[in-house]
Amino acid sequence: MSNGNQLGKSLSVGHIVATVGLIIGGFTFIYDLRESVAIQSFQLEAVENRLERIVERTDDRFETIIDSLQRLEEKLDAIVLSGPTYQRPR
């Protein structure tokens, strides 16, 4: 009695080798992918740290510039408020 399907119950050595090869290849791919993600994560963390240092330096320099501008403004205010200091022509 055959229902029209011709399925063999035997496995060839080639099929087993191919299946094992695909499984090993899949595990290798997943391992390489995880390793790549770990490397990228480390590099991203390094870039974030570098960016934080740059922001801190920029903030420090900006504060220095603001302090200098405030001192200049105080000096100009003192000059302007002290009154006119015209020199008379001789």
pLDDT digits (tens, 9 = 90+) for 1-23: 455 555 556 678 889 899 999 99
Number of domains observed in the structure of the chain: 1
Q: Is 59 a domain residue?
A: yes
Q: Which one has a higher pLDDT value, 88 or 47?
A: 47
Q: Is the pLDDT of residue 74 over 70?
A: yes
Q: Is 66 a domain residue?
A: yes
Q: Is the pLDDT of residue 50 over 60?
A: yes
Q: Which one has a higher pLDDT value, 13 or 25?
A: 25
Q: How many residues does the chain have?
A: 90
Q: Is 69 a domain residue?
A: yes
Average pLDDT score over residue span 25-54: 95
Task: Tokens 């008379």: give the residue.
Answer: 88
Q: What is the pLDDT of residue 67?
A: 95
Q: Please state, in angstroms and rounded to a whole number, the distance separating the CA atoms of residues 90 and 87.
A: 9
Q: What is the DSSP string of 5-61?
A: --------HHHHHHHHHHHHHHHHHHHHHHHHHHHHHHHHHHHHHHHHHHHHHHHHH
Q: Is 47 a domain residue?
A: yes
| Domain hosting residue 68, numbered range | 37-81
Distance of CA 49 to the CA centre of its chain: 9
Q: Is 2 a domain residue?
A: no
Q: Please state, in angstroms and rounded to a whole number, the distance separating the CA atoms of residues 33 and 23.
A: 15
Average pLDDT score over residue span 53-73: 95
Q: Is 3 a domain residue?
A: no
